[in-house]
Amino acid sequence: MKVTETFEGIALPGHLHTQESLGFAAAFTFRPTDVLIATYPKSGTTWMQEILTLLYSLGDARPAKTIPNWERAPWLEQIYCREALRDTESPRLLTTHLPAHVLAPALQRSKAKVIYVARNPKDVAVSFYHFHHLAKFLPDPSSFDAFLTQFLEGTVHYGSWFEHVKGWLGQRHLLDILYVTYEEMHQDLRGTAQRLSSFLGCPLAPGTLAALEQHCSFSAMRDNAMANYSLIPAEIMDHSQGRFMRKGVVGDWRSHFSPEQNALFNRRYQEEMGDVELPSQWPMA
């Protein structure tokens, strides 16, 4: 098995992807009722999968407690999700980390809805660094400083955060797409769920918001084996090296970044994002 699979300029973990599985995703036939969660890694993907599961089950937590998240919202591009993709009934929840340029043609041909979740990239970098210790399908990150350099250069697996975000923001007039941030989910989960419900045309049943708030809390998800990836075998995720549900906070970068790293990051962010028109609730510090 290859450690790295490169597809359309993006390096991806070879343990989870093949050229065939990536080609399958790029040529995917979306249904009009499909809802695709698109994210750069560590941006709140699993949280969004859980929220949408609860919205569509009208607040019934049983599916989220009995079916693993990768079967409830299978990944388009991963080799392990093909059966779940085939078997899921409409409306399907789907998930991807692929960049917009790979999926945009298939999405533009469809009426599928897209929810793009973004997170402050400083917190993404910290979360991704820690995740590299437990995810055996990612390279050894060595020091945080070395990892941060690679993150800013876009040479980490899954490519550049800047390109990913800019690519999906560039689809705002071309797709039926909603932009949500990790930070707004943190600040106002109920409000986010209401925004999702009106975008999806999925009415809120009485009690859904209360159930969603309880079930999608960090502590409930940390203890839910169907959401916390503890079912994944140690050769793929070494749980002795850390938890997938690690801290779940906003601003953890402050305890990791030196003033020099922060200044470098801010310069790079400005170079890449300075001219980009951002949604109003954008989170950057």
Active site (catalytic) residues: 97
Q: Does 45 bind ligand A3P (CB under 6 A)?
A: yes
CA distance 7 to 4: 10
Decide: is 170 part of the binding site for ligand A3P (CB under 6 A): no
| Between 108 and 214, CB nearer to ligand A3P | 214
Rule CB under 6 A: say whether 51 interacts with ligand A3P.
no
Cα dihedral sign, 140-235-75-65:
negative
Least distance to ligand A3P, CB of residue 176, Å: 22
72-100 burial string, b = 16+ CB within 10 Å, else e? Answer: bbbbbbbbbbeebbeebeebbbbbbbbbb
Residue 234 CA to residue 232 CA, distance in Å, equals 7
Single out the residue of 93, 221, 232, 237 in contact with ligand A3P (rule: CB under 6 A).
221
When the beta carbons of 154 and 248 are compared against ligand A3P, the nearer one is 248
- Under the criterion CB under 6 A, does residue 118 sit at the interface with ligand A3P? no
Query: Using CA atoms, how far apart are residues 60 and 177, in angstroms rounded to an integer?
Result: 26
Only one residue has tokens 């039926």, namely: 176
Instruction: By CB under 6 A, tell whether 74 contacts ligand A3P.
Output: no
Site string for ligand A3P, 119-148 (x = CB under 6 A): ----x---x--x------------------
CB of residue 202 to ligand A3P, shortest distance in Å: 20
CB-CB contact of 107 with 237 (8 Å): no
C-alpha closest to that of 76 among 165, 7, 129: 7
Q: Write out the binding residues for ligand A3P, residues 238-277 only, by CB under 6 A.
A: 245-248, 252
Q: How far is the CB of 46 from ligand A3P (least distance, A)?
A: 3
- Whether residue 257 contacts residue 145, with contact meaning beta carbons closer than 8 Å, is answered with no
> What per-residue string of b and e applies to 222-243 under the rule 16 or more CB within 10 Å gives b?
bebebbbbeebeeeebeeeeee
- CA angle, residues 247, 98, 35, in degrees to nearest 5: 85
42 binds ligand A3P (CB under 6 A): yes
Q: Does 213 bind ligand A3P (CB under 6 A)?
A: no
Span near ligand A3P by CB under 6 A; candidates 43-51, 53-61, 163-171, 200-208: 43-51
Closest contact distance (angstroms) between CB of 274 and ligand A3P is: 26
Strand ranges (DSSP E) for 123-278?
176-181
CB nearer ligand A3P, residue 42 or residue 164: 42
Binding mask 22-41 for ligand A3P (x = CB under 6 A): -----------------x-x
CA distance 151 to 206: 43
Interacting residues toward ligand A3P by CB under 6 A: 39, 41-47, 123, 127, 130, 216-218, 221, 245-248, 252
